[in-house]
């Protein structure tokens, strides 16, 4: 089993252009789903479609061997707790890569010249790696959150503030020389300064440890939980100590405390993450639409214009509606993409028909070093096109 990382796409893309075939399986194994019988049906349907398409018998025999190996593997599979999706890639020459993910997608089986990676790019794009810091005046906890799952990296760590000192502003401070006779209140300003000093030291230590975690874990975004959220005193003090790198990655703040159950902290952090991701998508779509409205703008909409921009190496960011899909043709040798031509103009070879042409477009964008953004926000003006791109330059 492997945990999906961006490097996984690079490993899969190394199979591109080697002639295939590559069997790509996405199998929803969420209990109590009968995923084994579902796979049997997918394999049976795929074999029928390959035969109907007139695929060479020798090629079908090689594919059949891979499908039999996958079926035997899944028949013996007991998905570990937390796994909802099995992503598996295999070739007749022995390549085998498997990922078990905590996010469910529809079950799909593809046999194509290249690996079908679009669902993986969507997952990597939709789920940034988050650091979740939860702190109050005395304690803090640090988590990472990825693909909807949360993992604690630093348990409770506490400040050295003496236990007899209140976590308030000093008015409730206790001690033999506080609130006694004529001297009542004379130590309160001193205690207040003492409390503030300890709080600052504690929060400075918390942010330092968070920055060290950032350098080690390389998370994409930071989410902070603190009493009363962004409006509370703790966050306003903590923010002063955040390294500029962490401030730049701040996705949001939620009201929370270290003593809260982990499942509740996860729920609140996920709500912040989703709101942040939707807001980022809205900004991206707005920029793309604005750039595409001007003939000198660095934006194009629609599959035909995106293909033209890819052919000329112009694409900086490919933007894809997560539900957009259309068939098309691809050259297994040169990865030439087209919707209409029958033969590759580069090598003269026969083009291969693929079910999800957008997956090939995504692969080509990644191969050219472009960013790929999958949009889950419902935006009618963009959804009418299904795909667009921000460009590096205009021709």
For CATH 3.30.420.60, the residue range(s) in the chain are 130-278
Given pLDDT bands bounded at 50, 70 and 90, which one contains residue 367?
A: confident
Distance CA 367, CA 50 (A): 28
Given pLDDT bands bounded at 50, 70 and 90, which one contains residue 332?
A: confident
- What is the CA 328 to chain-centroid distance, rounded? 27
Q: What is the DSSP string of 214-277?
A: HHHH--SEEEEEETTGGGSHHHHHHHHHS-HHHHHTEEEEEE--TTS-HHHHHHHHHHHHHHHH
Helix (H, G, I), strand (E, B) or coil at 133: strand
Highest mean pLDDT among 120-134, 141-155, 285-299 belongs to: 285-299
Q: What is the DSSP string of 24-53?
A: EEEEE--TT--HHHHHHHHHHHHHHHHHHT
Mean pLDDT, rounded, for 82-109: 88
Given pLDDT bands bounded at 50, 70 and 90, which one contains residue 342?
A: confident
Helix (H, G, I), strand (E, B) or coil at 86: strand
CB 338 within 8 A of CB 358: no
DSSP state letter for 80 = P
Q: Percent of the chain, pLDDT > 70?
A: 85
Distance CA 299, CA 45 (A): 40
Q: What is the pLDDT of residues 24-82, one digit of tens each?
A: 999 999 888 899 999 999 999 999 999 988 888 899 999 999 999 999 999 998 866 77
pLDDT of residue 257: 94
List the beta strands (DSSP E) in 91-169: 96-101, 108-112, 130-135, 139-146, 149-158
For CATH 3.30.960.10, the residue range(s) in the chain are 1-115
CB 202 within 8 A of CB 137: yes
Question: Distance of CA 359 to CAs 22, 82, 212, 325, Å?
Answer: 14, 27, 37, 8
Structure tokens of 373?
A: 């953004």
Q: Look up tokens 């409730």; give the residue.
A: 172
The phi and psi torsions of 273 (rounded to 5 degrees) equal -60, -45
CB 91 within 8 A of CB 67: no
Superfamily (CATH H level) for 294-395: Ribosomal protein L30/S12 (3.30.1330.30)
For CATH 3.30.1330.30, the residue range(s) in the chain are 294-395
Residues 6+ apart with CB under 8 A from 192: 169, 170
Helix (H, G, I), strand (E, B) or coil at 165: coil
pLDDT of residue 185: 53
Distance CA 95, CA 275 (A): 39
Mean pLDDT, rounded, for 357-361: 91
Asked whether the predicted pLDDT for residue 149 surpasses 70, the reply is yes
CATH topology of domain 130-278: Nucleotidyltransferase; domain 5 (3.30.420)
Q: Of 57-61, 207-211, 340-344, which range is least confident?
A: 340-344
* pTM score of the predicted model: 0.73
Residues 6+ apart with CB under 8 A from 215: none
Bridge partners for 373 per DSSP: 319
Asked whether the predicted pLDDT for residue 349 surpasses 80, the reply is yes
Given pLDDT bands bounded at 50, 70 and 90, which one contains residue 138?
A: confident
Helix (H, G, I), strand (E, B) or coil at 386: coil
Q: Percent of the chain, pLDDT > 90?
A: 51
Superfamily (CATH H level) for 1-115: eRF1 domain 1 (3.30.960.10)
Given pLDDT bands bounded at 50, 70 and 90, which one contains residue 17?
A: low
Q: Look up tokens 């006694």; give the residue.
A: 180
Helix (H, G, I), strand (E, B) or coil at 322: coil
Asked whether the predicted pLDDT for residue 361 surpasses 70, the reply is yes
List the beta strands (DSSP E) in 174-220: none
Asked whether the predicted pLDDT for residue 166 surpasses 60, the reply is no
> Positive or negative CA dihedral for 317, 323, 326, 331?
positive
Asked whether the predicted pLDDT for residue 318 surpasses 90, the reply is yes
Q: Look up tokens 């997918």; give the residue.
A: 42
pLDDT of residue 204: 92
DSSP state letter for 100 = E
């Amino acid at each position: 089993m492997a945990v999906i990382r961006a490097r996984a796409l690079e490993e899969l893309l190394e199979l591109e252009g080697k002639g295939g075939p590559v069997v790509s399986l996405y199998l929803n194994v969420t209990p109590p789903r009968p995923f084994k019988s579902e796979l049997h049906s997918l394999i049976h349907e795929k074999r029928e479609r390959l035969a109907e398409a007139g695929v060479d018998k020798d090629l079908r025999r090689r594919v059949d061997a891979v499908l039999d190996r996958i079926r035997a593997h899944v028949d013996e599979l007991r998905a570990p707790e937390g796994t909802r999706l099995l992503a598996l890639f295999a070739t007749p020459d022995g390549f085998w890569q498997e990922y078990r993910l905590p996010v469910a997608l529809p079950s799909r089986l593809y046999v194509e010249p290249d690996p079908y990676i679009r669902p993986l790019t969507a997952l990597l794009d939709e789920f940034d790696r988050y650091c979740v810091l939860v702190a109050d005046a005395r304690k803090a906890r640090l988590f990472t959150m990825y693909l909807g799952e949360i993992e604690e990296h630093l348990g409770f760590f506490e400040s050295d503030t003496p236990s007899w000192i209140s976590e308030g502003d000093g008015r409730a401070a206790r001690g033999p020389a506080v609130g006694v006779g004529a001297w009542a209140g004379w130590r309160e300003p001193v205690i207040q300064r003492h409390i503030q000093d300890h709080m600052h030291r504690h929060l400075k230590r918390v942010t330092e440890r968070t920055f060290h975690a950032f350098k080690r874990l390389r998370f994409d975004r930071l989410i902070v939980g603190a009493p009363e959220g962004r409006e509370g005193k703790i966050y306003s003090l903590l923010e002063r100590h955040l390294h500029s790198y962490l401030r730049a990655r701040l996705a949001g703040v939620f009201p929370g405390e270290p003593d809260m159950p982990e499942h509740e902290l996860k729920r609140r952090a996920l709500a912040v993450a989703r709101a942040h991701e939707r807001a980022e998508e809205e900004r991206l779509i707005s920029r793309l639409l604005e750039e595409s409205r001007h003939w000198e703008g660095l934006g194009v909409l629609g599959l035909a214009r995106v293909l033209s921009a890819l052919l000329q190496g112009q694409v900086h960011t490919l933007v894809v509606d997560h539900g957009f899909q259309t068939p098309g043709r691809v050259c297994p040798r040169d990865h030439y993409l087209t919707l209409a031509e029958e033969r590759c103009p580069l090598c003269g070879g026969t083009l291969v028909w693929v079910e999800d042409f957008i997956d090939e477009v995504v692969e080509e964008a990644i191969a050219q070093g472009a960013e790929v953004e999958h949009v889950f926000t419902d935006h009618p003006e963009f959804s009418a096109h299904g795909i667009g791109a921000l460009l590096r330059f205009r021709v």
